[in-house]
Structure 1
């Protein structure tokens, strides 16, 4: 059995998540590639597996508390401990603030905020007990409130809340567990669109950096291009 640490990457079957999964696997980690559509996750994991990486697809809809619980129970049953958690799953509604359907707003918060919280609540205590852990919340400058109003509204508000959750989580655990938020920038993905200036590899860089921080690394921060940015 491998003694390598294990990472869970949500939304790992495409875009930034897929690139993060690939990069973490290249470092020798065992990677759990989380996907709402398990079959798509298996296709993505198989592609990485053909390159010699230890990647396994797991089905999880982070917006569904029961789905998260099933994942956690399954990992416990097969003795898998998660050492690195990358909360990457997200949605990108663009409605004007007074035109956001309530169901869309709720889904955005469920995926972006509560989905991340559910996994952190379930997995971070084990990191604390084992004396090592890394949590990366994939956020966005669109959620920063220092210089602008979060936008688009549902997406930005959810990311701002994710940033606040990052601070709260970091304050609740010892320094052996690092919790940070990362803005990957505007990336050419299904969400970012073809006009975005950054490749998925460029977008994944700071996420992977935060996932592999040394003991002296920061916690409770918001980063882009491996540099701290305002909340």
Structure 2
């Protein structure tokens, strides 16, 4: 058999060792951070683009050109947290309180009506001299006051009767008494021969009094609110 020479046997072994060393060097270089990073960038561009794609916190130029509201810029977690906080605040806030009136503060303070002033239109011209001469409890002094002053006992009131047909009733303690007294005065005028009617009855003023159960400093009120 023909055996290769010694030089020919050494050459393949040396080439195999050199290739093995090159493979180890390439493996070492491939495992280094720099080469691996570059290899990943150059080898897989799709992955790098996907990794650095715009997220919710980064806006593209097209998105920046569109009008955005603060709700759109906020993340869902923050929005839900803010909504939960608003709900907690709304639940914790007390209901609006109604202002207290003196009646609800102290039931003992009850105002009482003392005088009611009402007006009525009899809708006819009146002869005040004739009324003063023929009606009871009536007085007329044109130099002093240009109206007939008439009084009745039930309800205890006073009426001022003018020649134009207007009448003012004072002294009643309630609205019903004021209306009743005005009707009685109108009936008296009708009995004297006038075509009096009962029109436009209206309460003009009401006077009440009550005990507040504490002293009132009038000078302080004038200086503060005068």
The normalised TM-score by structure 2 is 0.21
- The structure having more radius of gyration, on CA atoms, is 2
The normalised TM-score by structure 1 is 0.21
